[in-house]
């Protein structure tokens, strides 16, 4: 059966699954059927690869590469109703620096409003999802009004993503239909973020990743449910007021003040280098907490007797030997989170706690009877010290029933096997599990030791 004889619905399904719309353009010259049905595809996804970028700048005679913007405009003009557009440059172009560019080209300046005006109005009425990933070398020194243009044109837009741009909010009008917004590696000012709060009032999902230029930013959104906020600079303060927020991932360097008002927050992922003050307002629902810092000692200062947290994951980044003079003990966790039932310790946290134990033992015989599950990522350097620490934890956490020891892949297998065997013999009531960890790779589970 030839391609022209395939059922039209099947051909359309095939064309709709093409991940790169350049292939869609090629299909249009394959057959009359493909050409006709390609106009019914509802999405456009076009990415400029590094090879295409380099080819467009080649000095080889008679080598002509159709401009990327022209290819995209032609795709839009040849399409019918479109509800999803993704336009951008490949991540590999991030390695290109200003020293590699010797002119003021704008051939990949994709948030250029003059360029966006040539295609957006045609498809705006049906557009639900829009993603633009700009070329930072060309966009970072040009302030774009693309947000304003989008807000005036796309009244039914639900999802918006913009990467690698310097954005202006001048002329921005409310977009009540928008529920998901991602701004990644963009430049904004505090007043810009305030206007985003005002013009996108019904956001359910907000991702601010590597947003620079903010000094005292505030998120105030009544309907927000999920938020990922990674602050690239060290702001004076930052605040979040979101009564329906359930999941928050916050990463910042060292703000002087953090204000969090989120009465529905249940899962909180915090990566921080410390802060002078942390104000909690009506945060009484947090059950899962993930904490990362180069100084775990600040944890006890930020959180005092958080009785709602049941599951905790903690890790610390590698620090200098000077900073390691400050120890962080296992029992400190239970001073801050007295009702823990599940604990996951990263290799940095385990190292700090084992070091603290070797220096001082368990300083306070506080109640640790709520803990039932422990996951420990470790590098076994002195097996006797590690065993002494594990046995002390077992003696103090009498209700522990599941322990997973995840050992670094460089540790000799006989050492890991010996460690597990002695742990099982010391406390056979516990269900033991052995795993292997390596940076950047998902944990590998070897076997249950029982």
pLDDT digits (tens, 9 = 90+) for 202-230: 999 999 999 888 888 999 999 999 999 99
pLDDT digits (tens, 9 = 90+) for 411-426: 999 999 999 999 999 9
The gap from C-alpha 80 to its chain's centroid, in whole angstroms, comes to 34
Q: How far apart are CA 135 and CA 100, in angstroms?
A: 13
**How high is the pLDDT of residue 323?**
47
pLDDT band of 104, cuts 50, 70, 90 = confident
**How high is the pLDDT of residue 93?**
87
pTM: 0.86
Greater model confidence, 278 or 239: 239
Mean pLDDT, range 258-267, rounded to an integer: 93
Greater model confidence, 266 or 34: 266
**How high is the pLDDT of residue 357?**
87
**How high is the pLDDT of residue 98?**
73
Greater model confidence, 307 or 229: 229
Strands (E), 245-287: 247-252, 257-261, 267-272, 277-281
Greater model confidence, 303 or 324: 303
Residue 304 confidence (pLDDT) above 90 = no
pLDDT band of 28, cuts 50, 70, 90 = low
Q: How far apart are CA 439 and CA 405, in angstroms?
A: 16
Q: Give me 437's structure tokens.
A: 């960890």
- Given the DSSP bridges, would you call strands 288-293 and 277-281 parallel, antiparallel or unpaired? unpaired
Percent of the chain with pLDDT over 90: 50
Ranking 118-127, 292-301, 428-437 by mean pLDDT, the lowest is 292-301
Task: Output the CA angle 376-377-378, nearest 5 degrees.
Answer: 110
Residue 434 confidence (pLDDT) above 70 = yes
Mean pLDDT, range 142-156, rounded to an integer: 96
Greater model confidence, 305 or 255: 255
Q: Give me 429's structure tokens.
A: 């009531």
Mean pLDDT, range 320-336, rounded to an integer: 67
pLDDT band of 344, cuts 50, 70, 90 = very high
**How high is the pLDDT of residue 212?**
82
Phi first, then psi, for residue 398 (nearest 5°) are -70, -15
Mean pLDDT, range 46-61, rounded to an integer: 79
Nearest alpha carbon to residue 318 among 302, 295, 298, 301: 295
Please count the CA atoms within 13 angstroms of the CA of 274 that sit on its side-chain side. 7
Residue 135 confidence (pLDDT) above 80 = yes
**How high is the pLDDT of residue 37?**
43
Q: Which residues face 161 on adjacent strands?
A: 131, 182
pLDDT digits (tens, 9 = 90+) for 371-397: 999 999 999 989 999 999 999 999 888
Q: Where are the alpha helices (DSSP H) in 327-430?
A: 330-336, 347-360, 383-396, 413-426
Greater model confidence, 450 or 240: 240
**How high is the pLDDT of residue 307?**
83
Mean pLDDT, range 353-365, rounded to an integer: 77
**How high is the pLDDT of residue 40?**
53
**How high is the pLDDT of residue 275?**
75
Q: How far apart are CA 245 and CA 220, in angstroms?
A: 11
**How high is the pLDDT of residue 394?**
92
Give the gyration radius of the chain's Cα atoms: 27
pLDDT band of 25, cuts 50, 70, 90 = low
Residue 174 confidence (pLDDT) above 50 = yes
The gap from C-alpha 323 to its chain's centroid, in whole angstroms, comes to 28
Mean pLDDT, range 299-323, rounded to an integer: 74
Q: Where are the alpha helices (DSSP H) in 263-382?
A: 298-302, 330-336, 347-360
pLDDT band of 201, cuts 50, 70, 90 = very high
- Given the DSSP bridges, would you call strands 226-231 and 247-252 parallel, antiparallel or unpaired? parallel
**How high is the pLDDT of residue 112?**
96
pLDDT band of 321, cuts 50, 70, 90 = very low
| First-to-final CA distance of the chain | 58
Task: Calculate the dihedral angle through the C-alpha atoms of 148, 152, 154, 155, rounding to the nearest 10 degrees.
Answer: 130
pLDDT band of 173, cuts 50, 70, 90 = very high
Greater model confidence, 49 or 15: 49
Q: What mean pLDDT is reported for the chain? A: 84
């Amino acid at each position: 059966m030839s391609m022209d004889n395939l059922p039209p619905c099947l051909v359309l399904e095939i064309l709709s699954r093409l991940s790169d719309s350049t292939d869609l353009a090629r299909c249009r010259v394959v057959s009359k059927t493909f050409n006709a049905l390609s106009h019914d595809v509802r999405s456009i996804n076009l990415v400029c690869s590094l090879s295409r970028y380099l080819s467009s700048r080649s000095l080889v005679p008679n080598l002509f590469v159709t401009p990327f913007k022209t290819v995209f405009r032609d795709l839009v003009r040849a399409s019918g109703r479109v509800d999803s557009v993704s336009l951008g440059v490949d991540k590999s172009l991030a390695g290109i620096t200003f020293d590699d560019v010797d002119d003021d080209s704008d051939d990949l300046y994709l948030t250029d409003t003059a360029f966006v005006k040539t295609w957006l109005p045609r498809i705006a009425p049906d557009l639900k999802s829009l993603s633009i990933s700009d070329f930072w070398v060309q966009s970072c020194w040009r302030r774009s009004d693309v947000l304003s243009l989008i807000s005036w044109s796309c009244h039914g837009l639900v999802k918006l993503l913009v990467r690698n741009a310097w954005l202006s909010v001048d002329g921005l009008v409310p977009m009540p239909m928008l529920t998901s917004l991602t701004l990644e590696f963009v430049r904004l000012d505090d007043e810009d973020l305030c206007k985003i709060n005002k013009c996108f009032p019904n956001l359910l999902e907000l991702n601010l990743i590597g947003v620079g230029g903010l000094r005292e930013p505030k998120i105030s959104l009544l309907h927000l449910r999920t938020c990922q906020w990674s602050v690239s600079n060290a702001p004076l303060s930052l605040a979040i007021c979101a009564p329906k927020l359930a999941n928050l991932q916050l990463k910042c360097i060292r703000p002087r003040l953090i204000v969090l008002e989120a009465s529905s927050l249940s899962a909180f992922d915090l990566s921080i280098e410390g802060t002078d003050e942390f104000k909690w307002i009506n945060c009484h629902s947090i059950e899962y907490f993930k904490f990362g810092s180069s100084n775990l000692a600040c944890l006890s200062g930020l959180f005092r007797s958080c009785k709602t947290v049941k599951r905790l994951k903690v890790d610390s980044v590698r620090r200098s030997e000077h900073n390691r003079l400050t120890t962080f003990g296992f029992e400190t966790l239970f001073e801050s989170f007295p009702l823990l039932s599940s604990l996951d310790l990263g290799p940095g946290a385990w190292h700090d706690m084992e070091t603290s134990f070797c220096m001082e033992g368990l300083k306070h015989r506080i109640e640790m009877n709520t803990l039932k599950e422990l996951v420990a990522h470790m590098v076994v350097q002195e097996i006797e010290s590690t065993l002494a620490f594990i046995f002390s934890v077992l003696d103090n956490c009498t209700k522990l029933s599941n322990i997973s020891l995840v050992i670094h892949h460089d540790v000799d297998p006989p050492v890991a096997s010996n460690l597990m065997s002695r742990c099982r013999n010391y406390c056979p009531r516990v269900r033991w599990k052995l795993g292997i960890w390596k940076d950047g790779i998902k944990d590998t589970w070897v076997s249950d030791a029982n």
